[in-house]
Every structure is written in C-alpha cells, then in structure tokens.
Amino acid sequence: MTKTELFLKLAQPDGLGYSRWVAVDEFVGGYSELKFGNGASWARKESTLAKKFKIEINRSLTAGNRIDAIRLVDFNEDDGRAKVYYNLKDYNKAIADCTKAIELYPNNGSYYNMRASAYYNLKDFAKAITDYTKVIELSPEKAVYYKNRGSAYNAIGDNAKSQVDFEKAKKIENKN
C-alpha cells in the first residue's frame, strides 16, 4: 500500500474530498510509515496526494515549524470550465462538462452539486433532485445540500419532502 493510500485509509475523506484533521501522533502501528521525517514527501504539493486533493496543514499546536496535523479540504481536479459555463448561465454546457467529470470522478460530489444546480436553473427539478440526492449520499453532513434538495422538492409541490429536508438541514446546522 502506498503512503497516499495509507493516509486516505486513515483520513477517510468524504465524497466531496474533505477529511477530518489527522494528528501526526496518529501515525503509529500500521500508519507509522506516514511519519513526516523529511518534510512529508507524500503530502508535498507535487505529490500524488496533492494532485488529487487540496491539503491543509496545521502547525499551530506545538512550538516551532513542526507539522501537527493534516487534512484534505477538496478535490484538486480542474472543474473550471464547468464553473465558467455555469456562471455564464450556459447550463446545458455546464451539465455536459459535469457529466464528463462524473464519469472520471464518480465520488466527487461537487460535480453532482453543480449539475444539480444547473438542472434546477433549467427547471428540470426531477434531475436536480436525483443529483442532490447523490451529493447527500456522498456527504450527508452538509446542510446546504438538504436545503437545495428541499427547494427542488418545493418547486414540484412536494411540500412534505421539502419540509423533511429543511428540518434535516436545520438539525445539521444546530450541531455545528
């Protein structure tokens, strides 16, 4: 198992590319290979891990410049063109680009979310609901996705499901 695979096993990123903070003192037992030693080559900006994920490092827990913890804070794939199309309100092209990206990265929720929002703006609420449901499956702790799906349910007149999603979003927000 590579160090990248080992870290991913420990960090367990969600479908949107986010993980918990992993403290360096967790690098014991089967994870001892992850010890930073010479600057954590497996987590540097040119590493395999950094090519797939955006990495955040915390150096504030101990004195000096020592890395104390590391986490993943998003996928690093370039979704720029789909975002440009979306921002230009060319939703069909944004959907096409997101669909291609989903084929390559089926566990990256940001593409489902952007495609769902594009479907919503085109008033194709059934497809929006399907994609918002997938985003929720990939990242169930994000309140905004429940709100988005609740709005889509509301748009088709399904007030009961809309209310369930809005209540779930509120519960998540109250936890945080």
Res. 166: pLDDT tops 90: yes
Q: For residue 9, what are its two tokens?
A: 């096993």
**pLDDT for 35:** 83
Which of 17-21, 121-125, 128-132, 152-156 shows the lowest per-residue confidence on average (mean pLDDT)?
A: 17-21
Instruction: Read off the pLDDT of each residue in 105-134 and give the average, rounded to a whole number.
Output: 94
Distance CA 62, CA 70 (A): 14
Residue 3 host element (H or E): helix 3-11
Res. 78: pLDDT tops 60: no
The residue type at 27: F
Please give the DSSP secondary-structure letter assigned to residue 176: -
Cβ(43)–Cβ(55) below 8 Å: yes
Res. 110: pLDDT tops 80: yes
pTM of model > 0.75:
no
Instruction: For the domain made up of 80-175, give the CATH fold.
Output: 1.25.40
- Using CA atoms in the order 113, 114, 119, 120, what is the torsion angle rounded to 10 degrees? 70
